[in-house]
Structure 1
């Protein structure tokens, strides 16, 4: 384990694509897992997915997992619970209320929700709702290290620090989001980029394929190494960020104020779908996804070799 030698008992509620990725990560780090999903055939699908990953160097220990009969059984003696139910507010609220009633009083409860605030999803929880946090991963979640941790405004410091520590223990790179915002932080950053990309396509300035080339062969390469603000600092030479903001800030502001809002009406949706179809025409999308995952593994391993990078 990367941060601690402590072995924890983890409960994973919901074992679809995201839930299975969490199970894989917790098992590979040496924790024991109890999983629950009410969908027919869920256990077999999960075990099949875990078996498919046993060829990797960090293969999950599949003998350290048990599939529970219900939520109460799954969380009864858990140290940490990761909920991955459907992204519907009323479903999240009901599931988390049930989890909190059955879980040990000191267990931390994390939700993989991609957009709801922890206060929203904890609204029906009566048993220590302040221990509910958002723990939002990114696809493909079994590979990408980032996790957004969003606590409720009244969350105890020890709950927040413990959640961060547990995610680090499975090789994740958690960030602490200090305010409740729709979409948290990273989805909002992505939405800002999508907004301008959609606008440029809608206005006929550039094709969908050229948007993707512009990012993946341009700033996307740099963003895999350093974040946009650190890169901006480096671009300022000896003057660093101060020089960039003093001398290039004014034209940047002009660009930012020129960005256009878009509405995803049917006409724009058709343009985007047709553009992606044209970009990927004749290519095997399963191979694309497999090659994406392979390259992500290589990039993540490469980043570990450069200790000066934050």
Structure 2
């Protein structure tokens, strides 16, 4: 896809949680969506979920394709959200590459696979293959990580960034491939220490969640970790913080844990979440979370932080 080229038909491959959310995003923006998923009953499940999604107003049309090739032929942009298995990605992208016009971007929602590991399966136009990794649910959470592979052209990256912005996203360009991209690596660092603290009996699962959701998580959702740290330094800003609190922080780094994800720890974490939620269903929690996300995004936009 050339930079500035308009998307009229969005192709969505895989209609699990991420795929459904991509479909909702396309419909909200008035795009025609052609979706495909090989699982039995996938179309029925997709159509059943769309009316329950918090659509502002569905202005586009949805059609379920009969094959991957059909998605490739008809879409102006393809968003793939299939299983996180390399051999499956390679098969999907090889089929899409064989069917799609040369200027159609082929993107993967992969949360950790690097595009170079499946891009070479595309023998026609590997330069238009890249990762566009969203965060669940993609129709609400603005972040998308754009990662090019060794064969991805700069034009494809630019076109992906521009198109995602047009769809209301806040894309960032990951300039070098690393497993897990960036945001998931940051999450993994926090989870590692959280698991360690629970494993050592220092704090409960529920208190870990409170420590983040009612503490730094509130500030991070508005400004992010660097800008938040800068503000904590007063007039001296980040320089003051690093000068005075940097050395103790390095000592904390040296004391961080390296937990093993043993069956016993897994059981402790799962039981801890069950106790924390106390019977609240996942469906109810998702509905409340999504309502709060919409209101938070509206507030950020109103005060100029969106």
TM over 0.5: yes
Measure the CA separation in 1 of the matches of 2:220 and 2:134: 18
Measure the CA separation in 1 of the matches of 2:8 and 2:160: 12
Per-residue deviation, 1:140: 2.1
Measure the CA separation in 2 of the matches of 1:13 and 1:274: 35
Per-residue deviation, 1:51: 2.0
Q: 1:274 aligns with which of 271, 275, 279?
A: 271
Query: What secondary structure, in the 3-state scheme, does the structure 2 residue paired with 1:161 have?
Result: helix
Deviations 1:20-58, CA, capped at 9 Å, x for gaps: 1111101211222211112222222222222223x642x
Per-residue deviation, 1:5: 10
Report what 1:180 is aligned to.
177
Moved more, 26-35 or 126-135: 26-35
Measure the CA separation in 2 of the matches of 1:69 and 1:121: 23
Measure the CA separation in 1 of the matches of 2:105 and 2:5: 19
Measure the CA separation in 2 of the matches of 1:121 and 1:183: 15
| RMSD over aligned Cα atoms | 1.7
Deviations 1:143-178, CA, capped at 9 Å, x for gaps: 211111111134221110110111111111111111
CA contact (8 A) 2:116 2:151 kept: no
Per-residue deviation, 1:7: 4.4
Matches of residues 154-233 of structure 1 in structure 2 within 5 Å?
154-233=151-230
Taking structure 2 as the reference length, the TM-score comes to: 0.94
Report what 1:49 is aligned to.
49
CA contact (8 A) 1:29 1:169 kept: no
1:9 aligns with 2:9: yes
Moved more, 233-242 or 207-216: 233-242
Q: How many corresponding residue pairs?
A: 304
Structure 1: stretches of 5+ with no match in the other structure? none
Report what 2:30 is aligned to.
30
Measure the CA separation in 2 of the matches of 1:300 and 1:247: 34
Report what 1:40 is aligned to.
40
Query: What secondary structure, in the 3-state scheme, does the structure 2 residue paired with 1:147 have?
Result: strand
Measure the CA separation in 2 of the matches of 1:122 and 1:8: 25
Matches of residues 51-90 of structure 1 in structure 2 within 5 Å?
51-53=51-53, 56-57=55-56, 59-62=57-60, 64-90=61-87
Report what 2:96 is aligned to.
99
Measure the CA separation in 1 of the matches of 2:12 and 2:193: 37
CA contact (8 A) 1:14 1:85 kept: yes
CA contact (8 A) 2:126 2:151 kept: no
Query: What secondary structure, in the 3-state scheme, does the structure 2 residue paired with 1:224 have?
Result: helix
CA contact (8 A) 1:36 1:67 kept: yes
CA contact (8 A) 1:151 1:160 kept: yes
Measure the CA separation in 1 of the matches of 2:302 and 2:5: 23
Report what 2:301 is aligned to.
304
Moved more, 108-117 or 134-143: 134-143
CA contact (8 A) 2:24 2:55 kept: no
Per-residue deviation, 1:82: 0.8
Deviations 1:252-305, CA, capped at 9 Å, x for gaps: 111112101111011111111121121112434332221111111111111111
Matches of residues 116-127 of structure 1 in structure 2 within 5 Å?
116-127=113-124
